[in-house]
Amino acid sequence: MDWLLVAAGLVLLVFAGDALVKGAVNLALRLGIPALIVSLTVVAFGTSAPELLVSIDAILKGTPGIALGNVVGSNVANVLLVLGVPALITTLHASGGSDTRSSFLQMMAATALFMALAFTGVFSWWAGLLLLAALAAMLLYAARVAHSHRNGGTKEEEVEGADPKMHGWKVAAYLLAGIVGLPVGADLLVTGAVSIAETFGISDTAIGLTLVAIGTSLPELATTVMAAIRREADVAMGNVIGSNMFNLLGIIGVASLVGPIPVASDVMGFDLWVMLAASLLLVPFVYMGRDVTRGWGVALTALYVGYGVTVLA
């Protein structure tokens, strides 16, 4: 029954998150908000909504370890699985563009800030405000870069989920589905995950680092697989880097305003360093233009399997 709750929660989170993005994007565009701002805020936050709701629900249920494990585990999964699995299908040809390098440096800065705050022993409200301030600064920088690209004649990308012909009732239906479905899905997932952890004698943090993290990373995995099939390596790499930044700054930033998130000693001594090492594995692809070949795919996936076994052991 617990596994069914987890599966149902994940399905609800995926579909409700997608519905919320579509509804919010089209409402924002109808209200006259520029497409650039919609892309940087509504789409970015909307696609991270499942992780955010799961983390908030975990804190409200008194299991903050799931919230922290979800973020740290998702960042590890994003590099090792979300890049590794698509590389098993086809080679990701990395271009190592300046935009990707800039985003990578910002992700590493976010990682350093997150780890520094983690070693204080708890993510309190002030730490949350600091993380959100860093996120706001990065969004402003991204907006300026995107604006300069547009002024330089670069064609503006289409906003994900935008449909100028969508009827008003459909926009409302998507918003309602997202607003109702996300908290229900998060509640089912957290309830099932906590019960599974208790049944097998596993800590809340460990179940967050593995089961919950993989589940909430499924949308990113699906997006990256499609990018790999279309041979859009920059999209795949950008998706991973952007998701990791939002996880560290946005999700823990908001969640820690709901309640304090203590950092267990084993997370400080092991999982945070694994997250850092996984992030640094992107260096050859971002700076040296190395392709993510099938060999890399096997290695990355094997590393994640090894990590998961170690956490659950």
The torsion of the CA quartet 233, 286, 113, 70, rounded to 10 degrees, works out to 40
Nearest in space to 171 (alpha carbons), one of 12, 17, 35, 28: 28
The total number of structural domains that make up the chain = 1
Q: Can you give the pLDDT at residue 287?
A: 86
What 3 state SS string does the chain have? CHHHHHHHHHHHHHHHHHHHHHHHHHHHHHCCCCHHHHHHHHHHHHHCHHHHHHHHHHHHCCCHHHHHHHHHHHHHHHHHCCCHHHHHHCCECCCCCHHHHHHHHHHHHHHHHHHHHHCCCEECHHHHHHHHHHHHHHHHHHHHHHHHHHHCCCCCCCCCCCCCCCCHHHHHHHHHHHHHHHHHHHHHHHHHHHHHHHHHCCCHHHHHHHHHHHHHCHHHHHHHHHHHHCCCHHHHHHHHHHHHHHHHHHHHHHHHHHCCEECCHHHHHHHHHHHHHHHHCCHHHHHCCCCECHHHHHHHHHHHHHHHHHHHC
Nearest in space to 311 (alpha carbons), one of 214, 203, 199: 203
Measured CA to CA, the distance from residue 87 to residue 171 in angstroms comes to 36
Q: Can you give the pLDDT at residue 76?
A: 94
Burial of 147 by CB count in 10 Å (0-12 exposed, 13-18 middle, 19+ buried)?
A: middle
Instruction: Give the pLDDT of the chain (313 residues) as one tens digit per residue.
Output: 788 888 888 888 778 877 877 887 788 777 776 665 665 566 666 667 778 888 998 999 888 999 999 999 999 998 998 888 888 888 877 655 666 788 889 999 999 999 999 999 999 999 999 999 999 998 888 777 766 766 655 455 555 556 777 788 888 888 888 888 877 887 888 888 888 888 888 888 898 898 888 888 877 777 677 767 766 655 667 778 888 898 899 999 999 999 999 999 999 999 999 999 999 999 988 888 788 888 999 999 999 999 999 998 8
Measured CA to CA, the distance from residue 97 to residue 72 in angstroms comes to 27
**For residue 148, what are the contacts with CB-CB under 8 A and spacing of at least 6?**
none
* DSSP single-letter state for residue 217: T
- Are the C-beta atoms of 250 and 45 separated by less than 8 Å? yes
**For residue 197, what are the contacts with CB-CB under 8 A and spacing of at least 6?**
203, 204, 206, 207
Distances (CA, A) of 95 to 90, 101, 255, 288, 295: 16, 10, 35, 9, 18
State the residue range of the domain holding 191.
Answer: 2-156+164-312
Q: Which residue shows structure tokens 């001594």? A: 269
